[in-house]
Amino acid sequence: MPEGTLAEAVAEAKKQAPERKFAETVELAINLKDVDLSDPKNRVNEEIALPKGRGKQIKIAVFGAEELKSKVKGSVDYIFGPEDLSTFAEDKKAFKKIADETDFFIAESTLMTTIGKSLGQVLGPRGKIPRPIAPGQDPTNMIAALRRTVRVRSKDKRTFHVPIGTKSMSDSDLAENANAVLKRVISKFEKGTSNIDGVFVKTTMGKAVRMNAGDVK
């Protein structure tokens, strides 16, 4: 397929994807060129709020004392107190399962040092170090923002993948999300689009369709 607009590429990718019995994710595959990714400062490591949201519920966990725990009750998926940190430190296998299932962590700032020492080796490599929140602060806005945020990490690989929503979302909404991701990624490089070797969009089980990075606004 020749390169078209972002929305046209999304539509084609969805058209080529067979119907599945589960909600397929739509993702971008971004290929870089002429970037020295052996130097960590050149790697992409961003969190981007998608303007049209993720299209599905994501999991958020909170570490905090009783006041914070009461504020987030019913609005997050996991709530842990200071007493849970020692338990997880002793049973990292159990915590690894939680870390793999959870998209984002929030923690009271007073607990950050302890979390870093006891659980940093689990959370760090996964890019899931908690967002600190001051004691007494209302985390409602932070939680709402994280619900529509994606993590974009190239590590040392030339090709990396970014979810931009689900197949049930409209072509225009997915295209707007794709635009937001690509705009941020392109802005990270000195040569802009010249450092992008190719961009493809696909569903979880579908075929990849090339996008035109030059369509980013």
Same domain for 153 and 51:
yes
How far apart are the C-alpha atoms of 185 and 127, rounded to whole Å?
A: 17
The total number of structural domains that make up the chain? 2
* Residues 67 and 136: beta-carbon distance below 8 Å: yes
Q: What is the pLDDT of residue 4?
A: 53
pLDDT at residue 19, rounded to an integer: 78
Higher pLDDT, 212 or 59: 59
The domain spanning residue 18 has which CATH number?
Answer: 3.30.190.20
* Token representation of residue 164: 């931009």
Q: Is residue 83 part of a domain?
A: yes
Domain-terminating residue out of 103, 120, 146: 146
Q: pLDDT at residue 14 above 70?
A: yes
Range 143-165 average pLDDT: 94
> Is residue 139 exposed (0-12), middle (13-18) or buried (19+ Cβ within 10 Å)?
buried
